Amino acid sequence: MEGASTRGVLSHLSLLEVQARNRGSQVPQQPSRVKELKAKVEALTSQRDQLKAELQIHKKLQKLRAPADKHEEDGEDEEMDIDSKSSELFHLMARHSELTDLLHAHNLIGGYDAITTNGGKGMCFSLATEYEGVYLDTYNLELNLKPKVRISRHNIPPFIPLNSLAEQSDLQTDVGAFLATVSQHLNAFAGRRQQLKLVKEQHKSVEVMESNLLCSILVLMFTVPKDKTPLLCTLEYTDHTRCLPTRVHLNCHDKLLPDSPNWKKNCSLLKEVPVHRALMAIKKDSDIV
């Protein structure tokens, strides 16, 4: 009887021990604050050592350059003896020279963003457009460089005459000039299109009667305050590298109105100032509603 009682007590104690272990395993393990601080100290120490090493390299590079500069000024023919410890400094100087060459090449192509394609046989250029500080569309133009330079793929609007521009700029010898010309055409087109958008947004009383994809023709209908006379204004942009019109033509039932001093002045203004700004000035003078 006593043996059975003893076994019952032991079983109960074992059960309590198992339950205690289970409760202990359910307690979430909190990250050790000490370990976190140690890891942070190690990271900061590593960063400090790295900065010290970079500072030492910079100081050695300055010391190495100073005698070289003095050597050139004095015109001495002696060569500096560079030990093995200085080889790393020469490596840094070579890297600097390499980056300088890359920057020079970047400037030669006009500073356009470019990536190599087709295993190094081609390059794809990104041509960004902007108007009055606002970035607009970006176009891509891929050139094959071997065996000769030629246009491969692009998303430039078809009314931009790429082939004739390539001939005019001599694509084979001056890629930079070709890219500059294409960029000029794209920015002029973007500027004209943006002006048309601003006219529609800012001048609700002015009706856009006609425009084309190239935005080289813009026909506007004005209303003259006197007798609410309609006045048709045609802007022609024959120079596709600019976003200002080369010709302004007025048409009205009142034949004397287009030749009046006010409207001669307004026509000159439309050829010198972006159309959305010119219309503000014309409205301010009460020449249109």
Strands (E), 90-244: 113-117, 122-131, 134-144, 150-154, 207-211, 217-224, 229-236
Dihedral angle over CA of 26, 31, 32, 35, nearest 10: 140
β-sheet bridge partners, residue 208: 220
Asked if 152 and 124 sit in the same domain, the reply is yes
Q: How far apart are CA 206 and CA 268, in angstroms?
A: 19
Report the domain count for the chain.
Answer: 2
How far apart (Å, rounded) are the C-alpha atoms in residues 25 and 36? Answer: 23
- Mean pLDDT value across the chain: 81
d(CA 209, CA 189): 19
Q: Are 217 and 178 in a shared domain? A: no
Q: Are residues 124 and 171 in the same domain?
A: yes
66 within a domain of the structure (yes/no) = no
Range 102-123 average pLDDT: 71
13 pLDDT exceeds 70? Answer: no
Query: Which residue among 160, 190, 220 closes a domain?
Result: 190
What residue numbers bound the domain in which 219 lies?
A: 203-284
- Would the pLDDT of 108 be above 50? no
Residue 89 lies in a domain: no
The residues near 115 (Cβ < 8 Å, ≥ 6 apart) are 123, 124
CA distance 97 to 91: 10
44 assigned to some structural domain: no
**pLDDT confidence of residue 256:** 93
- 38-80 pLDDT, tens digit per residue, is 666 666 666 666 666 666 666 666 666 665 555 555 554 445 4
pLDDT value at residue 78: 47
225 shares its domain with 272 = yes
Q: Are residues 209 and 186 in the same domain?
A: no
Provide the CATH number for the domain around residue 185.
3.30.457
53 neighbors 45 (Cβ within 8 angstroms) = no
Nearest-angstrom CA–CA distance, 182 and 163: 10
Q: Are residues 165 and 234 in the same domain?
A: no
216, part of any domain: yes
242 and 267: one domain? yes
